[in-house]
């Protein structure tokens, strides 16, 4: 124990005053004469004994009162475990992700508690201390150190951020700060990613864990269409995966679907602990253009993820062009005029302009294409275009060999008719193609006329493992012609969905209904451009994201630091390119936490890592003051002095 003002201890000499008073009785005694004092002597002896006891107790009370009063003025304290030095630089990381809107007790948001703790830290250090404030946005103000007043002003501007940060990201951001780092967070297991992230021994890390109230959280895990073709606004079904991330069951959760601000359907779902349920909504025919869909429900107390946004951008028809020198099976497949715009040309009469604007170009049985056709297809292929090459019966591709990418085609002589192997149902190419994945499924047969060796990534293979249908980049190649003499693939049930998949993969309009803010890029088609004007996203905010152009597509870097979940219209000046929906990262809805001790153990448990346990505002303030200012004891000394003063009064008053 130490004293802030040790010179006051000289005042302890006043303890001699009550001792002197009690040793010498300065009152004059009065003599009274009695005829017989025998009885009085007995009374006097008995009374004197009690009076001496009272005097000793009063003396002790006075001595202790004066002692603790002097000690209170000397201000005793227990020394701080960590010393504050002048000119210190302190870094504060405040987690302002959406999970910090959850309660930490008594209806106090975790973010509000974190702001209070940050202000407590700022009030602790000397006036010349410099502060750096880091939030999940990694805003420009986090690059420089601020004064105390500037820090307090920045704390008033902190808002929720849709961005989650890992420990490694924050550590790298604060790498130049080698003094003090206060980490104020709820320490979510799903986003923190502690593995392989040691703490720099030169940095003192102080963990301030905010324990959230234990509650079940219901959120939308994912949404998908039963039929991925949304061209033309055909009837479809929307599947919504709802997840209960909690230890108690949830019953009667009402899920609502709103389309263009009009409620379209509702569904009720019951879920057990840590369970997933799927609800479906029928999408009626007639939806055209750009449509805003919102899935909503009520979940308390965690409500930041009760809305899910997605779009249905019904585009025009898929453009398919065929250069044919063979059968017309392709034309029959793409005869659905509500989905496809199909054009077929002979090798000597090709509209090269239509080919360049198509989503899928099919070269069917062409053995000796002219230079113009080869050049046009090559340029189209180097862009975003998709090409399907079907060999002629003689297996001679001529100049088309240059279009097959890494697939080196060689003719096959006297290849016998072979049955195809079952498709790999886990391949994304066949996703949602088969209702039943039967091992006894009958497969077509074909006689190969070309071969390109082993291809483990082939979409379809023969029984002997040689490829029948492969993809190299944006080019598909078949091993046999679509002719009854060479294959019955064109007559099999699998033929139509395979061709549709090829057309969909080349469709130039992005059909993705939503993007998570944790993703990196979004792709849009540009029909017409006004010079080099940039694409602007307009919604809750208006931003110009980083972007680059590839042919008639623009690839946008998702500006996750500047946009909130919701709908954004992509425009180039006055032209509208499309509607985009952004949703927060689903990891943010997983509220399982690390404790401060667990985080310290994962980070190596060094002496430079300390853990604060702020169960409430007052306890955090007291703990941080004790750690840096020491524990002040003068209050206890003053209370003790008052207690002994009261004891003296009571002794004099009531002890006879």
Share of the chain above pLDDT 90, in %: 20
In this predicted structure, what is the pLDDT of residue 523? 83
Report in angstroms the alpha-carbon separations of 585 from 279, 308, 312, 367: 21, 11, 20, 51
Instruction: Give the model's pLDDT for residue 173.
Output: 84
Q: Where in the chain is the domain with CATH 3.40.50.880?
A: 318-505
Cα–Cα distance between 310 and 576 in angstroms, integer? 18
pLDDT in the model for residue 565: 92
Q: What pLDDT is recorded for position 126?
A: 77
Q: Could you tell me the fold of the domain covering 515-583?
A: Immunoglobulin-like (2.60.40)
Q: Where in the chain is the domain with CATH 2.60.40.10?
A: 217-315
- Binned at pLDDT 50, 70 and 90, residue 228 comes out as low
CA atoms within 13 A on the CB side of 332: 8
> How crowded is residue 48: how many other Cβ atoms within 10 Å of its Cβ?
10
pLDDT exceeds cutoff 80 at 64: yes
Whether 74 has a pLDDT exceeding 60, the answer reads: yes
In this model, does residue 231 exceed pLDDT 80? no
Tens digits of per-residue pLDDT, 460-495?
999 888 999 998 888 899 989 998 889 999 898 889
For residue range 591-636, list pLDDT tens digits in order: 889 988 899 888 888 888 888 876 545 556 666 666 666 667 788 8
Three-class SS of 77-96: EECCCCCCCCCCEEEEEECC
The proportion of the chain whose per-residue pLDDT surpasses 70, expressed as a percent, equals 84
Q: What is the mean pLDDT of the chain?
A: 82
CB 351 within 8 A of CB 345: yes
Say if residue 69's pLDDT is above 80.
Answer: yes
The 10s digit of each residue's pLDDT in 377-412 is 888 877 767 899 888 888 776 666 777 766 778 888
Quick: pLDDT tens for 335-386: 877 778 898 998 888 888 888 878 889 988 887 778 888 888 888 877 767 8
Can you give the pLDDT at residue 13? 85
Q: What b-and-e string marks burial along 114-147, b requiring 16 or more CB atoms within 10 Å of the CB?
A: bbbbbbbbbebbeeebbbbbbbbbbeebbeebbe
Residue of 228 and 441 predicted with greater confidence? 441
Q: What is the pTM of this model?
A: 0.66
Average pLDDT over residues 315-336: 83
Q: Give the H or E element holding residue 17.
A: helix 16-23
Is the pLDDT reported for residue 564 higher than 70?
yes
Residue 225 pLDDT exceeds 90: no
Check pLDDT > 70 for residue 27: no
Between 163 and 2, name the one with better pLDDT: 163
What is the pLDDT, as a whole number, of residue 358?
A: 84
Q: Which residue has the tokens 């005793």?
A: 76
**Does 448 have pLDDT greater than 60?**
yes
For residue 3, give the DSSP letter. Answer: E
pLDDT score, position 315: 64
Which one-letter DSSP state was computed for residue 318? E
| DSSP letters for 139-207 | -GGGGS-B-HHHHHHHHTT---BS----HHHHHHHTTT--SEEEEEE--BHHHH--TT-PPPTTSEEEE
340, 361, 339: which is closest to 352 by C-alpha?
A: 361
Query: So what's the pLDDT on residue 538?
Result: 93
For residue range 90-111, list pLDDT tens digits in order: 899 999 999 898 888 767 888 9
* Mean pLDDT within 486-514: 81
> Does 244 have pLDDT greater than 90?
yes
Q: Classify 318-505 by CATH class.
A: alpha beta
pLDDT at 270: 92
Which tokens in the block code for residue 100? 């910090």
- Positive or negative, the CA dihedral 491, 497, 500, 505 is negative
Q: Which two tokens stand for residue 171?
A: 């550590």
Q: Residue 47 and residue 53: Cα distance in Å, rounded?
A: 10
Radius of gyration of the chain (CA): 41
pLDDT of residue 9: 82
| pLDDT beyond 70 at 12 | yes
At the fourth CATH level, the homologous superfamily of domain 89-213+591-629 is von Willebrand factor, type A domain (3.40.50.410)
Whether cis (ω within 30° of 0) applies to the bond prior to 301 is: yes
- Of the listed ranges 138-147, 261-270, 409-418, the one predicted with least confidence: 409-418
In the prediction, which pLDDT does 49 show?
66
- CB of 483 within 8 A of CB of 393? yes
Higher-confidence residue of 207 and 629: namely 207
Q: What is the pLDDT of residues 147-190, one digit of tens each?
A: 999 999 999 999 888 888 888 888 888 875 556 889 999 999 98
Task: State the angle between helix axes of 38-74 and 634-654 in degrees (0 to 180), rounded to the nearest 10.
Answer: 160
Are the C-beta atoms of 446 and 417 separated by less than 8 Å? Answer: yes
Tokens of 430: 């066949």
540 in Cβ contact with 566 (< 8 Å): yes
Could you tell me the CATH superfamily of domain 217-315?
A: Immunoglobulins (2.60.40.10)
Q: So what's the pLDDT on residue 178?
A: 57
Tokens of 255: 């899920």
The three-state secondary structure class of 19 is helix
* 268 bridge partner residues: 254
Instruction: Quick: pLDDT tens for 38-51.
Output: 555 555 555 566 67
Maximum mean pLDDT: which of 106-120, 248-262, 437-451, 550-564: 248-262
Chain segment 272-298, per-residue pLDDT in tens: 999 999 999 998 766 777 889 999 999
Instruction: Compute φ and ψ for 8, nearest 5 degrees.
Output: -65, -15
């Amino acid at each position: 124990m130490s004293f802030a003002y040790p010179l006051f201890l000289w005042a302890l000499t006043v303890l001699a005053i009550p001792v002197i008073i009690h040793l010498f009785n300065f009152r004059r005694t009065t003599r009274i004469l009695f005829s017989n004092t025998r009885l009085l002597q007995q009374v006097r002896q008995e009374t004197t004994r009690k009076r001496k006891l009272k005097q000793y107790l009063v003396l002790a009370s006075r001595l202790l009162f004066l002692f603790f009063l002097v000690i209170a003025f000397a201000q005793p304290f227990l020394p701080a475990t960590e010393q504050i030095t002048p000119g210190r630089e302190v870094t504060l990381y405040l987690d302002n992700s959406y999970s910090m809107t959850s309660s930490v007790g008594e209806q106090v948001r975790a973010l509000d508690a974190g702001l209070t703790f940050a202000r407590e830290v700022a009030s602790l250090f000397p006036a010349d201390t410099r502060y750096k404030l880091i939030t999940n946005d990694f805003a420009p103000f986090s690059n420089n150190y601020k004064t105390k007043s500037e820090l307090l002003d920045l704390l008033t501007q902190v808002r929720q951020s849709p961005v989650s940060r890992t420990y490694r990201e924050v550590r790298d951001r604060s790498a130049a700060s080698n003094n003090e780092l206060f980490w104020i967070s709820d320490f979510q297991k799903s986003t923190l990613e502690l593995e392989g992230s040691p703490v720099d021994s030169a940095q003192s890390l102080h963990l301030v864990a905010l324990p959230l109230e234990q509650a079940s959280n219901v959120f939308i895990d994912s949404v998908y269409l039963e039929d991925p073709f949304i061209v033309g606004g055909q009837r479809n079904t929307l599947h919504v995966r709802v997840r209960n991330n909690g230890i108690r069951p949830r019953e009667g959760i009402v899920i609502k679907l709103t389309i263009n601000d009009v409620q379209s359907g509702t569904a009720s779902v019951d879920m057990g602990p840590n369970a997933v349920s799927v609800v479906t909504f029928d999408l009626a025919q007639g939806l055209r253009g750009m449509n805003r869909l919102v899935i909503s429900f009520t979940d308390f107390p965690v409500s930041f993820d009760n809305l899910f946004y997605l779009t249905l951008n019904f585009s025009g028809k898929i453009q398919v062009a065929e250069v044919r020198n063979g059968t017309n099976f392709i034309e029959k497949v793409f005869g659905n005029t509500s989905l496809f715009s199909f054009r077929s040309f002979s090798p000597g009469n090709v509209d090269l302009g239509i080919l360049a604007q198509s989503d899928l170009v099919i070269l069917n049985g062409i053995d000796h294409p002219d230079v113009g056709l080869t050049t046009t297809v090559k340029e189209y292929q180097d862009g975003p275009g998709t090409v399907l090459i079907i060999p002629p019966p003689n297996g001679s591709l001529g100049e088309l060999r240059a279009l097959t990418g890494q697939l080196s085609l060689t003719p096959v002589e006297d290849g016998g008719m072979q049955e195809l192997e079952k498709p790999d149902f886990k391949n994304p190419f066949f996703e949602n193609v088969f209702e039943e994945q039967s091992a006894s499924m009958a497969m077509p047969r074909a006689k190969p006329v070309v071969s390109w060796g082993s291809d483990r990534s082939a979409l379809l293979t023969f029984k002997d493992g040689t490829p029948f249908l492969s993809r190299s980049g944006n080019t598909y190649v078949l091993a046999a012609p679509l002719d009854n003499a060479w294959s019955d693939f064109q007559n099999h049930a699998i033929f139509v969905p395979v061709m549709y998949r090829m057309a969909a993969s080349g469709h130039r309009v992005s059909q993705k209904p939503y993007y998570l803010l944790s993703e990196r890029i979004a792709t849009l088609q540009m029909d017409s451009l006004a010079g080099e004007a940039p694409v602007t996203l307009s919604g809750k905010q208006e931003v110009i994201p980083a972007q680059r152009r590839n042919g008639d597509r623009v690839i946008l870097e998702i500006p996750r630091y500047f946009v909130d979940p919701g709908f954004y219209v992509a425009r180039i000046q006055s032209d509208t390119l499309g509607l985009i929906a952004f949703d927060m990262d689903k990891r943010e809805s997983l509220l399982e936490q690390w404790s401060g001790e667990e985080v310290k153990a994962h980070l190596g448990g060094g002496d430079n890592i300390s853990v604060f346990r702020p169960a409430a505002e007052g306890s955090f303030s007291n703990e941080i003051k004790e750690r840096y200012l020491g524990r002040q004891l003068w209050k206890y000394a003053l209370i003790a002095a008052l207690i002994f003063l009261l004891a003296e009064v009571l002794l004099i008053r009531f002890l006879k």
